[in-house]
Amino acid sequence: MNVLCLDLEGVLIPEIWQAVAASTGVDGLQKTTRDIPVYDDLMSYRLRLLDQNRITLSQIQKDIEKMDPLPGAIDFLGWAKERFQVAIISDTFYEFAMPLIAKLGDPMLLCHHLLLDGDKIVGYRLRQSDPKRCSVRAFKSLDLKVVAAGDSFNDVSMLEEANVGFFFKAPKAVIEQYPDYKLAGSYEDLKTLVETWRISQVS
């Protein structure tokens, strides 16, 4: 079977940091890779805000427990699992994502770990350098073909490395900078793009 690699936040679940921003009132936590494309810069910014506002891991986890997958995400994954091996490749953290992954039916998740001092988030450990590209490259090294979908700047390396890549509800700034990728505005659109590619591989 082929592999479908999906981003998590913005594709299957709401943006976790934006939910934390809403609950804490710290507007700066609204920023994502759509706003600050360099991941290390974005995470350094977030960590400063967490420290300044004394926001703990347990506070964030309580917010995450209240979250649900995006409408239609569970049905889309069910459809995808009948046709592909599905891997979720994300720049989030296991300490955040696991309750939502359970709500999605426990698909494979590849992401990062937080560094903690008790309940305080003090840093993070990347799974590897350029993890989205490397994950796709690893699947391809097993003689698997990969289709990928994401919504932001940090997904571009995954889309570039895949046999084919699509944007899902990406913002204007992303689309304008990377116009060569087709855009799905809904799960039905994404199904059509993905299925058209899949059929082309067996015809």
Tokens describing residue 13: 């679940």
Other C-beta atoms closer than 10 Å to the C-beta of 131 total 20
Same domain, 198 and 134: yes
Is 7 marked active-site? yes
Contacts 24+ apart (CB under 8 A), 43-49: 43/124, 46/17, 47/121, 47/122, 47/123, 47/124
Calculate helix-pair angle for 16-24, 57-65, nearest 10 degrees: 110
7, 63, 155, 161: the catalytic one is 7
> Total structural domains in the chain?
2
pLDDT at site 203: 60
Same domain, 154 and 178: yes
Is 9 marked active-site? yes
Full residue range of the structural domain in which residue 38 is found: 16-65
pLDDT at site 142: 96
9, 15, 151, 155: the catalytic one is 9
Same domain, 104 and 141: yes
Same domain, 46 and 96: no
Q: 10-residue block means of pLDDT along the chain (203 residues)?
A: 94 94 93 84 94 96 95 98 96 95 96 96 92 97 97 94 97 94 98 94 74
